[in-house]
Structure 1
Amino acid sequence: MRIKMAGIDYRKAPVQVRELFSMTASVVERALKNSREVKGMTGCVIISTCNRTEYWMSGEDESFDSLNPAALLAQEKGQSFEAYEPYFTVREGMEAVHYLMELSCGLRSQIFGDDQIITQVKHALDAAREQAAVDSVLETLFRTAVTGAKKVKTEVLLTNVDRSVAAAMTLLLQKEQILIQGKRCMVIGNGEIGRLAAAELVKAGGEVFMTLRQYKTREAIIPAGCRVIDYHARYEQLAQMDIVVSATVSPHYTLTKEKAEACLDGGEKVFVDLAIPRDMEPELSKLPGIKLYDMDSFSGLKYEGDVRQIAVADGILTKYELEYEQWYEFREYVPVVKEISKAAGEDTSARLRKELKRLGLTLEAREELERAIGRSASKVVAKLCYGLREELEPEAWKLCLDGLRRSAEHLE
């Protein structure tokens, strides 16, 4: 099975390493376009979230075997593969398939049972489609993984609480004994994570303000209970805030030590950075009264699922893994079945041609009937070939098809 993936995530890499390999949508688009030029690679999908960046690829011949997805990912990000090799995890074949199945339903997430990862996997596939970078191998794999994840989410309660990053933020603050009730909170960023974070803070009783750039005012969605402040006034508002959360996809810091220091009064404040790459300059933690948390802070939270429910989820995913493995092994013989059935249809039509002439039909009607007979015979033979697959072991089935193909070559 010629499938490989390389990933860099929270298990091996700290936030300062993960952010070096994080990809914006435009960078993903460029990388997918570049993948089409890599000799031996027929498909590519890239997953980039706040806790992981993964480069998935597939191929059809031996030239694929020497390709290293970790090296290709490092190349796309302009980083030294050798310097960061220890942080990568590389998987191939069914190990990679098994991993994607578990990842898609949140079993591999830093926040166990993560509710957002299934959407992120789907979006990764959509992006690859848009750039014509995905082949049938990865298309089918990712679709199967998403379908399996939906099945798990529908039938299995992995956890009995919200497992979004935003919910984890409030759990982290609770663990650190930081009260939200009655506190003034500013959320920088109006994307999905920012909106979820704002909603969680409102739910916890905070007085929440969300920054918004003026040119996005009309298209923005503001969570209920939030008030809007101008993004460019964020520094002016710092001194009045108790909790500041940032969750953008900006390649630059939304808060820097130098500018923040000029606006702060030394009072105690909590800064939470939910972005990768980081939104808040790490040196902010050196300012008096500032407590700074980032995505690595969540590693101290304990997320556990019910062992029995996880076993049920694994059983569901195993079914989808086997389904994909069978599809992968079978797909190379689809052209063979088509070849056999086409030859059978053409031979049947040819054998009946004389008989059809005796029916006294018009030429047009006779030719149409001949084509219909050929199509019907072709479908019957194809159905018989596929039916054999249910009765024979895979290798015996392949041998049988090979024999039928050779026989079909001698039909007249």
Structure 2
Amino acid sequence: MRIMAAGLNYRTAPVHIREKLALSEHDIADVLSGLRGSKSIMEGVILSTCNRTEVYAVAERKDQFMRELAYMMERKYNLSQEQFEASFYLHEDNAAVEHLFRVTSGLDSMVVGETQILGQVRDAFLYSQSLPATGAVFNRLFKQAVTLAKRLHTETRIGHKPVSVSYAAVELAARMMGSLAGRNIVLVGAGQMTELALKHMQARGADRISVVNRSYNRALEFADQFGITAEPWESLGTLLNTAELAMAATGAAEPVVTFDMLRGARQHRSAPLLLIDMGVPRDIDPLAEQLDGVTLYDIDRLGAIVNENAEARAKEALKLTPVIQKERHDFTRWMKELGVAPAIAALREKADAIRESACQDMLNKLPDLDERERKVIGKLTKSIVNQLLRDPILNIKELASERGGEVAIEAFTRIFGIEEQAQRLAEPEGTEASDAMDPRNAIA
């Protein structure tokens, strides 16, 4: 088994490429089903955010996995082979594990140390698990990644100051407009990103804010929660007539703030209008910046905004590399132990069967033993078996984690005559067999 992480992010692909792969849950289920149906992967998790789309896979063959992925990207999402090769990266095995740990901890984010990605990775894993598209390897790996990220954000200063994309958007607006107090501000969308932006704006004194959302009830709930004004979706064009700042993040497939809408608004105003598009796919027509008096920043331009906190976080991130590498080493060791788990479980199964058979023969020859005496004999024989197996199990675990571990495992199964049992346990069916495969459960 090999662990792979293939994808694109804000470094390797511009927004017009990334928005093609802003995958919904339905899309994710479809892609995972297609890849697993072609037998190119055994386990899979897809992470799709505004800044990255990544496919994590447990697979046997790298070349087959990448061919299937490229074919699917072209057929379903109109990503040409040339675009795929130019945008997609691939990390394998240890590098893939370390990449996931860095992504989940916010060390690979556009804004280093941001915490939103932690929840996005967790949600991506839980959704893939519910399909179900994960197994023993990813159930362990992603839980370890989430636990590590939580610990790093608690124990270090990597997330000491708020520097999310939403924060960067508000920081930009404040720098360009001065005080946000008394400014007419429109929020398009009532999701998590606009919520974060709103909190930062209110912290800077913004007090004249309206929100529009396709669901008016959601807009009302949002407005009531934060003490702002909710307006119907149909009033967006009118609101832009007087707005000085508009921020958008809706998740819509096409721009909701259109060029014609903005051109009409310019006819009713002379004051400048600052537009900040935090959405992928984009929520504001990129042609808007052709209009006089309109300044547009999309998520890529936001990524270029660097403030004082970014440098401090980058320095803190360097200190975390040894921690990430230790976690990767721990997982790699567990993976190698997972490979020996069927052999250990098979040895335990054979030893228990021999012990039980011998005990039964002895009890048949000593029918006058009372219940207490029978229990004493049972405990004694179990203790003997455990003590005999302790050193072989510890030694094979150690050998399995070293170079040539597969050869050591093969010799181990031949010495104890457990080849068939180990092969059977290596192909688990159902929860009971899966538990036997876990090295934590295979050792008494």
The TM-score, its normalising length taken from structure 1, stands at: 0.88
* Residue 45 to residue 376, structure 1, CA distance change in 2 (3 Å): farther
- Which residues of 2 match residues 293-372 of structure 1 at below 5 A? 293-302=297-306, 303-305=310-312, 309-360=316-367
Contact 2:216 2:231 in 1 (8 A): no
* Residue 404 to residue 8, structure 1, CA distance change in 2 (3 Å): closer
* Residue 190 to residue 308, structure 1, CA distance change in 2 (3 Å): closer
* Structure 2 equivalent of residue 292 of structure 1: 296
Contact 2:340 2:396 in 1 (8 A): no
CA shift digits 1:298-338 (9 cap, x unpaired): 23222223566334322221221011111112211111101
CA shift digits 1:353-384 (9 cap, x unpaired): 22112443799999999998887777666654
* Structure 2 equivalent of residue 166 of structure 1: 166
Contact 2:343 2:418 in 1 (8 A): no
Residue among 224, 227, 236 paired with 2:226: 224
Taking the aligned partners of 1:383 and 1:307, their CA distance within structure 2 comes to 46
Whether 1:406 aligns to 2:414 is: yes
Taking the aligned partners of 1:189 and 1:141, their CA distance within structure 2 comes to 34
CA shift digits 1:174-233 (9 cap, x unpaired): 344554222111111111112112222222222211113235467657542322111221
Residue among 394, 401, 412 paired with 2:402: 394
* Structure 2 equivalent of residue 257 of structure 1: 259
* Residue 67 to residue 387, structure 1, CA distance change in 2 (3 Å): same
Taking the aligned partners of 1:297 and 1:105, their CA distance within structure 2 comes to 23
Taking the aligned partners of 2:182 and 2:407, their CA distance within structure 1 comes to 73
Secondary structure of the structure 2 residue equivalent to 1:254? coil
Whether 1:236 aligns to 2:238 is: yes
Whether 1:281 aligns to 2:285 is: yes
Unaligned runs of 5+ in 1: none
| Offset of residue 116 of structure 1 | 0.5
Taking the aligned partners of 2:219 and 2:209, their CA distance within structure 1 comes to 17
CA shift digits 1:56-89 (9 cap, x unpaired): 2112x45x54320455444442321223421222
Contact 1:340 1:404 in 2 (8 A): no
Secondary structure of the structure 2 residue equivalent to 1:317? helix
| Offset of residue 257 of structure 1 | 0.6
Secondary structure of the structure 1 residue equivalent to 2:255? coil
Secondary structure of the structure 1 residue equivalent to 2:311? coil
Contact 1:247 1:273 in 2 (8 A): yes
* Structure 2 equivalent of residue 141 of structure 1: 141
Taking the aligned partners of 2:418 and 2:37, their CA distance within structure 1 comes to 40
Secondary structure of the structure 2 residue equivalent to 1:332? helix
- Which residues of 2 match residues 188-203 of structure 1 at below 5 A? 188-203=188-203
* Residue 300 to residue 220, structure 1, CA distance change in 2 (3 Å): closer
Taking the aligned partners of 2:314 and 2:82, their CA distance within structure 1 comes to 39
More helix by share: 2
Secondary structure of the structure 2 residue equivalent to 1:277? coil
Taking the aligned partners of 2:224 and 2:386, their CA distance within structure 1 comes to 56
Secondary structure of the structure 1 residue equivalent to 2:91? strand
* Residue 274 to residue 383, structure 1, CA distance change in 2 (3 Å): farther
* Residue 370 to residue 290, structure 1, CA distance change in 2 (3 Å): farther
Greater shift in the superposed pair: 377-386 or 175-184? 377-386
Residue among 45, 63, 66 paired with 2:64: 66
| Offset of residue 144 of structure 1 | 1.6
1:350 aligned partner, one-letter code: S
* Residue 373 to residue 65, structure 1, CA distance change in 2 (3 Å): farther
2:416 aligned partner, one-letter code: A
Contact 2:112 2:313 in 1 (8 A): no
* Residue 121 to residue 259, structure 1, CA distance change in 2 (3 Å): same
Contact 1:118 1:146 in 2 (8 A): yes
Secondary structure of the structure 1 residue equivalent to 2:46? strand
Aligned length, in residue pairs: 409
Taking the aligned partners of 2:377 and 2:45, their CA distance within structure 1 comes to 45
Secondary structure of the structure 2 residue equivalent to 1:329? helix
2:413 aligned partner, one-letter code: R
Secondary structure of the structure 1 residue equivalent to 2:38? coil
The TM-score, its normalising length taken from structure 2, stands at: 0.83
* Structure 1 equivalent of residue 209 of structure 2: 208
1:408 aligned partner, one-letter code: F
Contact 1:45 1:124 in 2 (8 A): yes
Whether 1:12 aligns to 2:12 is: yes
* Structure 2 equivalent of residue 107 of structure 1: 107
* Structure 2 equivalent of residue 85 of structure 1: 85
Taking the aligned partners of 2:102 and 2:262, their CA distance within structure 1 comes to 41
Contact 2:211 2:219 in 1 (8 A): no
* Residue 374 to residue 217, structure 1, CA distance change in 2 (3 Å): farther
* Residue 278 to residue 323, structure 1, CA distance change in 2 (3 Å): same
Percent identity of paired positions between Structure 1 and Structure 2: 23
